[in-house]
Structure 1
Amino acid sequence: MPIVAQSTETTDWVSRFADEVIEESERRAPGKPVVVASGLSPSGPIHLGNLREVMTPHLVADEIRRRGRRVRHLISWDDYDRYRKVPAGVPGIDASWAEHIGKPLTSVPAPEGSPHPNWAEHFKAAMIESLAEMGVEFDGISQAAQYTSGAYREQILHAMKHRGDIDAVLDQYRTKPKQAGKKQQKPVDEAELEAEEGSGAASEDDGSSGSAGYFPYKPYCGNCEKDLTTVTSYDDDTTELAYTCTACGFEETVRLSEFDRGKLVWKVDWPMRWAYEGVIFEPSGVDHSSPGSSFQVGGQIVGIFGGEQPIGPMYAFVGISGMAKMSSSRGGVPVPADALKIMEPQLLRWLYARRRPNQSFKIAFDQEIQRLYDEWDKLVAKVADGSALPADVAAYTRAVGTASGELPKTPRPLPYRTLASVADITAGHQDQALRILSELDPANPLSSLDEARPRFDRAESWINTHVPADQRTVVRDEPDVDLLKSLDEASQRSVRLLLDGLADNWSLDGLTHLVYGVPKVQAGFPADATPKELPPEIKTAQRSFFALLYHLLVGRDTGPRLPTLLLAVGQERVRTLLGE
């Protein structure tokens, strides 16, 4: 069933942008589909910072679609950009790939073992798969296909004819100092994922000026395929263009009206596409929004092509927490597929939907993911009982599905931290995991792990890939006899009280009540006494009791939540390890 947004009641940033975009579209192109756009360069792994380039217009387009209007979300794959460098940490490549620097990405071989025909297709495929899992609908446009098919031929000839006007705009900024230099590399657990290479701006190249004048177009060499070329002459009447290649010395003269092996430089290419596609809305990263950068300059150049600059919010960087265990196969920079291995698509969508584009946020790969899931589950409960705020309802609605319908979800969404603890303790034993999870709520037992999937699989993946070995839970094989013998009378009594209550409290809620209640009972209070009825010393006694149980069960001061741990160990083994 399609999800209908309560757009008249929502107050979130998506609705406000949708209002503005619809109004602007009616002014510019009444009766036509609204066009929003993203640009991604498959020059390497397309990371979670680049995903904001897609999610921002996706959410706006989806809101417009929910309102019953026609909308197109274009994703321009900048696969005709030059190959700039050999990225670190990509499996299947080595230093020999440096020989391809300067070629279009579609002319660079894919990493060894890839099923894809070239470098660009290899990295596009992973992103396309992740976007499908997240419910993102889009029209993909290959810029390599556009340029080599001659689709932009008229625009290229127009740019060359008006190169003086373009040069005059660009010249206003050439003498200005750069507003910001390259950021120093940060530790990966604090890294901000900048859209430096993934937002469509592989470089800030604005063309070259030489003895023959300024030219906003660069041919790829007919011999070595590289863009290390210099245009030496151009005739507007015949469109005859001559160039030389500084890489291999090749020289060639072509007719630009028939030649399709080159492209406009970035600062001209981007505004040309705004006009060509009629783009109404396209965000840009901080790096493209500073004075003299491509978005600002493009706003002046787009008029040369008869178009207008899109509404373009600047979006902030996306940070990552907990990257210490991240596989080095991607050089420590996670891509959407990495996030989707440890969290459901709804949670990842929610992270992008709940923050305005100009607000930065972090995606958790560490213990913080458990808190995020707790927060999400609380929101789900509030939406269900009608107590959630309108903006939170809007973010929830955008997270769980699109105008086309809801995303597949976990039938029994048990707490992520509980699932992670069970996955940790059972170490891949599915039968044991099912036994534990079925005992969480004896009145409504889980009959199959499939009811807890895919959330259980995500939690298991997180435990296996992002929790260091020394933090994994290993249950003792034998009782700690020395520790049991050393217990004082009070500690022995606390263990006895726990053992006596196991049978009658063998459920998640029951064991929670039991482990917190033992220190209360020992101090002379009822087991169900509230914190307000108890002196502060009870909290200290509870911490000491918990530490004792952890030592007896797993040989450490801490571990998974005790009720979950007890269920996981099993009643018989708990009794053995606690000395019964």
Structure 2
Amino acid sequence: MANSLEEPLFWADNLARRIINKRPNKLFYTIEAGITPSGNMHIGTLREVMICSFVERALLDLGKSVRFLFIWDDYDRLRKLPSDLLNREEMQKYLYFPVSKVFDLWGCHSSWAEHFEKPFEDQLKIIGISPKYIYQSVEYTKGTYAEECLRVLGNKQTITEILNKIKTNKTAAEDFLPIQIYCEKCSKDTTQIIENQGINYKYSCSSCGFEGAVNILKDFHYKLGWRVDWPMRWKFYDVDFESSGSDHSVAGGSFDTGKEIINQVWAREPPLHQHYGFIIGREGGKLSKSVGGNISPGDLFEVFSPSIVRFLFARARPETEYSIVIDDESYLKTFADFFKHEDIYFNSNNIRQGISEKNIKQFCRIYEMSVVGTPSVIKPVQPDIRNLVFLMNFFQTPQKALAYLKKNHKIKLSVNDEELYLQYMTCCQNWLKKYAPSKYKYKLRQGVDQEIKKQILPFEIEIIKQIIKLLNQPKVSDELIKTKLEQITTADALDKKAFYAKIYQILFRKDEGPNFAGFCQYIGKTKIVKILKEYIKKESETDNKIIEEHKDNIKKEKAKRRINKPEKEKSA
């Protein structure tokens, strides 16, 4: 827990202090995040939620009461379709509908909006985030914001002047309306105001030709434009902290205009705001819901444990732009980085020695924030992830792989560690199936490759025989295999790299592979010995074996015929 008497090092602790200093006497503090559910959420969206979640925890650690609101802007219109969407032509007719009224193309939820909302809400639960969800389609259509909208309309002149500061083409106050009306006939927001009398607005729809009227205090099928809606809900929900992407935070951006609007229309200060840098895609540029084809939170949950997903965001300051890549070796490095923070937190093997007190505190706080819930008293299990990746090449399920390790390697795990071990195995298996480079994928070769066999030199055959003899020893440990292999393969004439390349070709059709001693134990020494023996047999031995097998097959066939002879033939 952060020490309230010291100057905090972790960025979320600093933000929490600033929130309290800005409004020191509040009974509880409100944190807000939100997004339009127009497409699959990407990891940039997740970053906003994670920042708010870390600040929430920092405030709680300081003994404050906090409510975390997540506002789904599902009363926004469907502005465009994701580029990777099938049936685009069929969906064109739903453009400009509120996303909450667009049907679910996939048939599994009640609407387009819910199709993207519910999976994201479920994913947030996995990493320990449970905000209060507010659905704008519900709040607007039941008139929750009607009085605030009326106030906005009464300050149309002021808002026009604020927004004109950033516009090239200025708008006259009489031509500006900060609300957008959805047509009550076709549900699209393709409407224009044709007459205004007090709180009554007559409109026409360019999509269907319908003409209708809206009473601001009775007919709730309208909403505020984004630049006005944002400061309105800061006031309505008394928001103390919000984070948003860098595009909202530039000069003249929506946060800039929002600050002025809340100050001049509601005479209030804006919440403390923290902009965050974009999560950059592999090809550069920010990720986007509407473009499609982005990395989703679901992709992260497939290949990382919940705590490591949190770690990916906790360790980076909000304003930093960076990439999260899961289809190369940086995936394995992420585990190593997380385990290092974990080791420092638990001071495993006196790892803190030589690290400054300041850095130790920073490492420990990042780890605390990464863990779902509170850290355990005993350090969790830390399997060798490279070994798990290799192991999962040869087992259909994590349960079978773990059963093998427990039986053959005498691994003893607590209930919690066993659950974590299975979690890591599942992550590695998913990574192998979907993202891992080919060099991490292994399959034992079936049959003998005669070309490889011809390349094995006579003295290499003798070394392979010694390896076979070593592996045939009962109860031989990984360490002993490693030591003996080093002795066996130190012959002056042996090119060790070329020799092992042949071994890996024999076993996997690859020039490189994992630690030989380790994978012998994982795959099974008996299997390795059986394969190696086939490559050191002389041709005559192989021929004799084929002949003997052929004779056995003939005998079996004759015996089968005798059994199947009719009774008359037998008696004759």
TM-score (norm 2): 0.82
Cα distance change of structure 1 residues 426 and 261 upon mapping to structure 2, 3 Å threshold? same
- d(CA) in 1 for partners of 2:443 and 2:436? 13
Q: Deviations over 1:222-274 (max 9, x none)?
A: 11111111122323xx3111111121221112221222111010011111111
Which of 392, 397, 404 pairs up with 2:363? 392
C-alpha displacement at 1:216, in angstroms?
0.5
- The one-letter code sitting in structure 1 at the alignment partner of 2:311 is W
What corresponds to 2:248 in structure 1?
288
Given the superposition, is the C-alpha separation of residues 516 and 352 from structure 1 closer, same or farther in structure 2, using an over 3 Å criterion? farther
- 2:90 aligned with 1:80: no
Give a deviation string over 1:128-178, Cα, whole Å, max 9, x none: 0000000012111111111111111111001101000000000011019xx
1:57-110 Cα distance to aligned partner (Å, 9 max, x none): 11011111122210111111111100111213357x542111111111111001
Per-residue deviation, 1:118: 0.8
**Residues 322 and 217 (structure 1), Cα distance of their counterparts in 2 relative to 1, 3 Å cut:** closer
Change (3 A) 1:70 1:512: farther
Considering only aligned residues, what root-mean-square deviation do their CA atoms show, in Å? 3.2
Report if aligned partners of 2:262, 2:270 keep a CA contact under 8 Å in 1. Answer: yes
Q: Which residue of 2 aligns with 1:416?
A: 385
Question: Could you say which residue in structure 2 is the equivalent of 1:250?
Answer: 210
Contact 2:406–2:412 (CA under 8 A) maintained in structure 1: no
Equivalences for 1:272-283 in 2 at 5 Å?
272-283=232-243
Contact kept? 2:2, 2:13, Cα under 8 Å: no
Q: In structure 2, what is the Cα distance between the partners aligned to 1:505 and 1:481?
A: 33
The equivalent position to 2:100 in structure 1, one of 73, 84, 106, is 106
Q: Is the 8 A contact 2:278 2:321 kept in 1?
A: yes
Partner of 1:12: 10
Matches within 5 A, 1:335-350: 335-350=296-311
Q: CA deviation at 1:546?
A: 3.1
Cα separation, partners in 2 of 1:175 and 1:130, compared to 1, 3 Å? same
Matched, 1:214 2:176: yes
Distance (Å, rounded) in 1 between the aligned partners of 2:282 and 2:378: 25
Please tell me whether the aligned partners of residues 278 and 307 of structure 1 are also in contact (alpha carbons under 8 angstroms). no
Which residue of the partner structure matches residue 168 of structure 1?
161
User: Is 1:455 equivalent to 2:424 in the alignment?
Assistant: yes
1:420 and 1:460 in contact (8 A); partners too: yes
Taking a change above 3 Å as real, the CA distance of residues 340 and 209 of structure 1, as seen in their structure-2 partners, is same
The CA deviation at 1:484 is 3.9
Q: Which has the higher contact order (CA 8 A, sep 6+)?
A: 1
| Pair 1:239 & 2:199 matched | yes
In the superposition, relative to structure 1, how do residues 429 and 495 fare at CA in structure 2: closer, same or farther (>3 Å)? farther
Paired residue for 1:332? 293
* Unaligned runs of at least 5 residues, structure 1: 177-207, 324-328, 525-537
Is residue 334 of structure 2 the alignment partner of residue 372 of structure 1? yes
CA distance in 1, matches of 2:420, 2:155: 63
1:353·1:399 contact (CA, 8 Å) conserved in 2? yes
CA contact (8 A) 1:339 1:348 kept: yes
Q: Give SS of 1:283's match.
A: strand
Q: What pairs with 1:23-102 in structure 2 (closer than 5 Å)?
A: 23-26=21-24, 30-90=25-85, 94-102=88-96
**TM-score, length-normalised on structure 1?**
0.81
| Corresponding residue for residue 117 of structure 2 | 124
Contact in 2 for aligned 1:47/1:333 (Cα 8 Å): yes
Aligned counterparts of 1:256 and 1:548: Cα–Cα separation in 2: 79
CA distance in 2, matches of 1:220, 1:110: 20
8 Å Cα contact 2:398/2:425 also seen in 1: no
The answer to whether the Cα contact below 8 Å between 1:320 and 1:365 also exists between their aligned partners in 2 is no
For the residue of structure 2 that corresponds to 1:124, the secondary structure is: helix
Relative distance call for 1:383 and 1:429 in structure 2 (3 A) is closer
Contact in 1 for aligned 2:390/2:440 (Cα 8 Å): no
CA distance in 2, matches of 1:523, 1:136: 61
Please state whether the residue corresponding to 2:187 is helix, strand or coil: coil
**Do the aligned partners of 1:83 and 1:104 also contact (CA within 8 Å) in 2?**
yes
State the one-letter code of the partner of 1:227. D
Aligned pairs, number:
515
Give 1:19 deviation, angstroms. 1.1
Q: How far apart in 1 are the matches of 2:413 and 2:376?
A: 25
**Higher share of residues assigned helix:** 2
Change in 2 beyond 3 A, CA 1:494/1:370: farther
The structure-2 alpha-carbon separation of the partners of 1:421 and 1:24, relative to structure 1 and needing over 3 Å to count, comes to same
Quote the residue 1:557 is aligned against: 511
1:140 is aligned to 2:111: no
Residue 224 of structure 2 corresponds to 264
- Distance in 1, Cα, partners of 2:260 & 2:194: 27
- Residues of 1 paired with 2:16 and 2:463: CA distance? 60
Name the SS for the 1:85 alignment partner.
coil
Asked if structure 2 preserves the Cα contact closer than 8 Å seen for 1:88 and 1:331, the reply is yes
Range 254-263 or range 477-486, more displaced: 477-486
Mapped to 2, the partners of 1:445 and 1:511 lie a distance apart of 25
Distance change (3 Å), C-alpha of 1:545 and 1:469:
closer
Q: Which moved more, 1:330-339 or 1:44-53?
A: 330-339
| 1:223 and 1:250 in contact (8 A); partners too | yes
CA positional deviation for 1:305: 2.3
Shift of residue 512, structure 1, vs aligned partner: 4.8
Corresponding residue number in structure 1 for 2:436: 467
C-alpha change, 1:510 and 1:134, in structure 2 (3 Å) is farther
Q: Distance in 1 between matches of 2:420 and 2:33?
A: 36
Code of the residue aligned with 2:436 in structure 1: it is: V
Paired AA for residue 516 in structure 2: L
Check conservation: 2:327, 2:437, Cα contact below 8 A.
no
Say yes or no: does 1:319 pair with 2:280. yes
Alignment of 1:127-206 (within 5 A): 127-175=120-168
SS in 1 for 2:121: helix
C-alpha displacement at 1:398, in angstroms? 0.6
What amino acid does structure 2 have at the position aligned with 1:252?
G
Q: Structure 1 residues 242 and 8 mapped into 2: Cα distance closer, same or farther (>3 Å)?
A: same
Q: Does the 8 Å CA contact 1:18/1:60 hold for their aligned counterparts?
A: yes
Q: Work out the CA distance in 1 between the residues paired with 2:11 and 2:173.
A: 50
Q: Distance in 2 between matches of 1:62 and 1:429?
A: 33
Letter in 1 for 2:521: L
1:543 to 472, 492, 497: 497
